[in-house]
């Protein structure tokens, strides 16, 4: 193998993976090479531009830490996370739609009882977050785990602040009727972390870094497809220009007034309280006996 030029290098690179460890690795490697070479032929970068691209990826890697994942932000802001999500969630009609996970989920958030306050009072006006979990036939699912997290009224997650205790996040289980409720605070729209290379990229692409106000949910129950989604607040800015392309009409909810008897059990019993309410619908899990595509 020698004497490569712009006409034969692509086939040579594809041929180099013919003995890949698995058919899937071969398929992915061949496609990656083909598309990457086509990209380079399309843009015909100067050597300075290619060095700039390598420097960009290097800075993205250097920005990553236990609490910062620049490559997820890159995937999110280029629409790739939502594309992967869509490909993997071709759910039956009636099931609640999915959206991006984002980088601020914390595994094993504290499990709380229904009716718990999950935010610190100073984080914003109280919000009753309530709903139910049902299957496609409308039957309530008891003991489903509803993992909830959201930003405060200044647009910050607990993990972005200099605090040791978690806040505005918890896991709650549905009761026998499939219902759950907790008290959080009304979250604000916020910019994704934009002090790194992804922020520079957005600026040079003429884009803002904001996401509309939302509350995140992961809803899990045995025998059902785990749902990763948000509810977006109807009055929020940026619903039509979410920097990570995550907004869906079916996930937008208006804030209503919480029923007085529930608001009375919240952190400010005398005041009227906003309520975000949704009945989540889970699809049935895939049949485990059906053959799945071989993993890498
Ligand atoms: C979020 O909603 O938490 C999020 C999603 C994608 C990128 C940054 C933040
Ligand atoms: Fe978020």
List of domains in the chain: 82-282 (2.60.130.10)
Q: How far is the CA of 77 from the centre of ligand 1 (A)?
A: 10
272-282 pLDDT per residue, tens: 899 999 999 99
Q: DSSP string of 123-162?
A: GSSEEEEEEEEEETTS-B-TT-EEEEEE--TTS--GGGSS
Residue 7 exposed, middle or buried by CB count within 10 Å (0-12, 13-18, 19+): exposed
Percentage, residues of the chain above pLDDT 90: 86
The pLDDT of residue 215 is 98
Distance, in Å, from the CA atom of 18 to the CA atom of 16, rounded to the nearest integer, reads 6
Q: What is the mean pLDDT of residues 63-82?
A: 94
**Is any ligand 1 atom within 6 A of the Cβ of residue 244?**
yes
The more confident residue out of 260 and 162 is: 260
For atom 7 of ligand 1, which residue has the closest CA? 102
230-273 pLDDT per residue, tens: 999 999 999 999 999 999 999 999 999 999 888 888 888 777 89
Q: How confident is the model at residue 292 (pLDDT cuts 50, 70, 90)?
A: low
Percentage, residues of the chain above pLDDT 70: 97
The pLDDT of residue 62 is 98
DSSP letter assigned to residue 95: S
**Is any ligand 1 atom within 6 A of the Cβ of residue 102?**
yes
Distance, in Å, from the CA atom of 43 to the CA atom of 258, rounded to the nearest integer, reads 55
Q: What is the mean pLDDT of residues 77-92?
A: 96
The pLDDT of residue 272 is 84
Distance, in Å, from the CA atom of 229 to the CA atom of 246, rounded to the nearest integer, reads 9
Distance, in Å, from the CA atom of 220 to the CA atom of 171, rounded to the nearest integer, reads 11
215 forms beta bridges with: 150, 231
Q: What is the pTM of this model?
A: 0.93
Q: How far is the CA of 103 from the centre of ligand 1 (A)?
A: 6
């Amino acid at each position: 193998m020698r004497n490569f030029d712009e006409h034969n290098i692509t086939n040579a690179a594809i041929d180099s993976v013919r003995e890949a460890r698995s058919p899937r690795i071969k398929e992915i490697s061949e496609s990656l090479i083909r598309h990457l070479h086509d990209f380079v032929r399309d843009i015909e970068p100067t050597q300075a531009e290619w060095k700039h691209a390598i420097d960009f990826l290097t800075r993205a890697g250097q920005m990553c830490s236990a609490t910062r994942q620049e490559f997820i932000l890159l995937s999110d802001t280029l629409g790739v996370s939502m594309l992967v999500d869509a490909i993997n969630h071709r759910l039956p009609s009636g099931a609640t739609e999915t959206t991006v996970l984002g980088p601020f989920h914390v595994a094993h958030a504290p499990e709380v009882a229904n009716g718990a306050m999950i935010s610190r009072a100073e984080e914003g006006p109280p919000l009753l977050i309530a709903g139910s979990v049902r299957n496609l036939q409308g039957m309530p699912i008891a003991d489903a785990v509803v993992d909830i997290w959201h930003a405060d009224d200044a647009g910050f997650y607990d993990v972005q602040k200099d605090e040791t205790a978690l806040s505005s996040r918890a896991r709650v289980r549905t009761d026998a009727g499939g219902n759950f409720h907790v008290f959080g605070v009304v979250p604000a729209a916020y910019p994704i972390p934009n002090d790194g290379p992804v922020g520079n990229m957005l600026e040079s692409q003429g884009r803002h870094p904001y996401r509309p106000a939302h509350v995140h949910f992961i809803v899990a129950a045995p025998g059902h497809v785990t749902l990763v989604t948000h509810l977006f607040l109807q009055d929020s800015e940026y619903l039509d220009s979410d920097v990570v392309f995550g907004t869906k009409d079916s996930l937008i909810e208006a804030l209503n007034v919480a029923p007085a008897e529930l608001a009375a059990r919240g952190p400010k019993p005398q005041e009227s309280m906003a309520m975000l309410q949704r009945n989540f619908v889970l699809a049935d899990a895939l049949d485990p006996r059906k053959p799945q595509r071989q993993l890498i």
